Chain A
Amino acid sequence: MEEVIFYAFAALAIGSALLVVGLKNTARALFLFFIVLFAMAGLFLFALADFVAITQILIYVGGVLILMIFAFMLSNKELLADLQHTSARFLSLPNAQSLLLVLGFLGVMLYGIAEWQENTPYWITENIRRGNIIQPTDNNINQLGVKFMTQYVLPFEVVSIFLLMALIGAAHLSRKEEDR
């Protein structure tokens, strides 16, 4: 049962991702992107990373995607049509080269998986042997919180300062210019 759902999510993610790239209709592609993100969140759940899954939905669907759709809606229609026409040349390679690139990436990933299967790192086998693994019923949130405030406190604080900078920058940009 779980496997069926897993493969359904995977197929959904890959299929809609292909459609996002292929569709001519930008608005539909953006809404399809929502399905990609949602299916990805489902896959995260299978990795027992429920916090990551929910954050994915909250940040990407609730924030980034809405921003993208807004940017699309508020931009000029002629400008967009222009962009769609030129996109065949702009930032895109001839088919043969892009095929080569894609195959290269696929090769790297397959090689990575094969390598991983053959020589699994020691710490992973060791922890599996000792039964030191996450269970679906475990409370990961507590662990995450403790880790954030102890081991990873510096990256955590740096990220929050960065976000604060972005916030202040946005507020400054949207402020009315004073008359001089």
Chain B
Amino acid sequence: MIDLVIHIIIPLAIFSFIAVFTLFAVYAERKIAGFVQDRLGPMETGKYGMLQTIADILKLLQKEFITPSAADKVLFALAPVVIFTAVFIGFSVMPWAPNFIPADTHTGLFFIMAVVSIDAIGILMAGWGSNNKYSLLGAIRAIAQMVSYEIPIGLSLIAAVMITQTLNLNDIVFNQGILATEHIYFFGVWDVTEVGGLFAWNILQAPHLIVVYIIFFIASLAECNRAPFDIPEAESELIGGFHTEYGGIRFAFVFLAEYAMMFLVAMLGVVLFLGGWNTPLPNIGALKLAEWTTGLYWGIFWTLTKSLFIVGIQMWIRWTLPRFRADQLMNLCWKVMIPLAFLCMAISGIWRILVMV
């Protein structure tokens, strides 16, 4: 019985976290946009406009359901649910703190890759179901982009997994800090099992993973359909892309899925490359900073801080860089990132055999 209650509480907790995160991320996004474009952003609702997104969501919630008369009603109604669920399931294997993980499976990373690819089906459903040229074009662009960029993401994940030797996200994080179950080496030479902190993170255990992380980060931007890879919803060409016809709570779900996806890929990058819930502070002699800042609450704190920092960078990039053209996008993916990711994968193999032994 108690198990069942826990099984119900955890998804609810994650859902409410996503909802709250989305509310404040939208506010942050608009403030950052304002800062980058040298204007103020939302100012009127509440102090510094902090209630703006809450007012927005209240407005969205009470709007009526509008279904275009030529739309495929079933697909149109189901699409936002599929899009959101795909991202939402992904959170089920993400570790938040030492052994604090909704589902501790041996296939965690692989599972996330699979589940996130369902997102594409939802977008196609939305694009086809709307029966609108712009929506369909947006959906086709989105799929072409997501399917292409899944390859560099997959390759960069493989490069990281070759170093970690496990697909279990919980174990991956454990081996990046002072709680490691095996010896870990900074740059492959200096034993930092006792020191921990920044030096034990995956990107510094094997330095080529820094390149891999950059590949992963760029590809994950494309996977979330965010600028500079937002041709699927290019406002100047396609109105709104695949979600042109959506309004009210359905649009809210599409939006929720986009922000949840941002957080999910940011968190996945943090877990795989940046130490997950491990503290960035190392043990220095008698100053046991790493040991003092490791634990359940510290773990959640570090995961959140790092992930939100990465989300912040995603927003900064969105408002700084112009949009890629479709052919530039494909060139970048197939001619630059995939060969580079392959190279990094080969280096990972050599590193594992020759350096980490």
Contact = CB atoms under 8 A, between A and B. Distances in A.
A140 B107 CA distance: 9
B136 interface: yes
B124 interface: yes
B167 A62 contact: no
B128 interface: yes
Interface string A136-162: 000111000000000000000000000
Interface in B138-173: 140, 143, 147, 150, 167-168
Contact of A66 (B106, B113, B115, B120): B120
Residue of B107, B114, B147 ringed by the most chain A CB atoms within 10 A: B114
Interface residues of B, number: 25
A28 B114 contact: no
B110 A51 contact: yes
B121 A66 contact: yes
Given A141-B106, A141-B107, A57 B118 contact: yes
A50 B105 contact: yes
A34 interface: yes
Contacts of B13: none
B106 A65 contact: no
B234 interface: no
B120 A28 contact: no
Interface string B307-340: 0000000000000000000000000000000000
B21 interface: no
B74 interface: yes
B85 to A, nearest CB: 11
A72 to B, nearest CB: 9
A34 B121 contact: yes
A7 interface: no
A103 interface: no
B196 to A, nearest CB: 26
A50 B128 CA distance: 32
A69 B72 CA distance: 15
Contact of A69 (B111, B113, B124, B150): B124
A70 B124 CA distance: 9
A29 B74 CA distance: 12
Residue of A25, A51, A73, A140 ringed by the most chain B CB atoms within 10 A: A73
B118 A27 contact: no
A31 interface: yes
Contacts of A70: 140, 143
B260 interface: no
Interface string A1-39: 000000000000000000000000101100100100000
A154 B150 CA distance: 27
B50 interface: no
A58 B113 contact: yes
A54 B110 contact: yes
B310 to A, nearest CB: 24
B75 interface: yes
Interface of A is mostly: helix
Contacts of B140: 70, 73
A54 B114 contact: yes
A57 B106 contact: no
B128 A141 contact: no
Contacts of B75: 27-28, 31
A28 B72 contact: yes
B107 A51 contact: yes
Interface in A48-63: 50-51, 54-55, 57-58, 61-63
B125 interface: yes
Contact of B121 (A27, A31, A140): A31
B117 interface: yes
Contact of A28 (B74, B106, B113, B167): B74
A131 B143 CA distance: 47
Contact of A54 (B74, B107, B143, B150): B107
B160 to A, nearest CB: 15
A66 B147 contact: yes
Nearest to A54: B114
Given A50-B107, A66-B143, A27 B114 contact: no
Contacts of B124: 66, 69
B266 to A, nearest CB: 21
Given A34-B121, A54-B107, A27 B128 contact: yes
Given A25-B72, A70-B143, 15 more contacts: A27-B75, A50-B105, A50-B107, A54-B107, A54-B110, A54-B111, A58-B110, A58-B114, A58-B117, A61-B118, A62-B120, A62-B150, A66-B124, A141-B106, A141-B107
Interface of A: 25, 27-28, 31, 34, 50-51, 54-55, 57-58, 61-63, 65-66, 69-70, 73, 139-141
The 9 closest A-B pairs by CB, nearest first: A62-B117, A58-B114, A57-B114, A139-B106, A54-B114, A54-B110, A50-B107, A141-B106, A54-B111
8 contacts: A27-B75, A58-B110, A58-B114, A58-B117, A61-B117, A62-B117, A139-B106, A139-B168
